[in-house]
A = this chain, B = another copy of it.
């Protein structure tokens, strides 16, 4: 079975482009989450990298979130917590990175995929982007990604997303709430906008950009513990009969 991929390309001027892909709508099993953390961490510490761009494969879904296939294989609370800790690791790796991480979203994002967008420092979207937090539908909840989302869009918009688990909210709504910073009509125009944005930043003082990154993330040190507590909550709920049954129903559709 194709288990997806994560790869990194580094341009001469210091832009590390990290791309992930998975045949099931770019959903994320543990293996990909672990590779994502690893490659973000490598780029963050590489002296030749000045800026990190996170993107996904293809021209459809940006990221479908947690792998439902893997959620159905969970057997105990430890494996549940371990799975969701994969998202906690990616978010904390972006947070700790001294380099800014830019997100490029070309299509729909669900659950943990919305969390990825929120965890990045700056997010570009094409008009095809729409976001949905479906967790309550499957009797879990958007826990690990809650701090990253609340930090960007505030409590009220996070509540709107959490409690409307079957509704996709569009790119302009996401921009108005602060999840997305720039919306472009097409993917091609988004890519040009990303270039116009990154090019000048690549020429700026790395010390200044790092100090700015630290200022932006001030007050989030407790995420080192908090996100894993939330991963335990998600893991425990995902094991419940209610949750496993709704996951099986989703799979049958």
Contacts and interface: CB of A to CB of B under 8 A. Distances in A.
A211 B197 contact: no
A74 interface: no
Contact of A159 (B135, B136, B216): B216
B233 A211 contact: yes
**Chain B CB within 10 A, most for which of A100, A122, A154, A163:** A163
Interface residues of A, number: 49
A215 B156 contact: no
5 contacts: A121-B159, A121-B163, A143-B212, A160-B181, A207-B237
A180 B62 CA distance: 29
Given A155-B151, A156-B153, A139 B205 contact: yes
Nearest to A209: B136
Contacts of A152: 155-156
B178 A156 contact: yes
Contacts of A146: 215
* In the A-B complex, the 10 residue pairs with the closest CB atoms: A156-B178, A139-B205, A141-B212, A205-B242, A141-B208, A152-B156, A139-B208, A146-B215, A160-B181, A208-B237
Contact of A162 (B140, B165, B177, B212): B212
A31 interface: no
A203 B218 CA distance: 39
A215 B165 CA distance: 16
**Chain B CB within 10 A, most for which of A137, A141, A179, A208:** A208
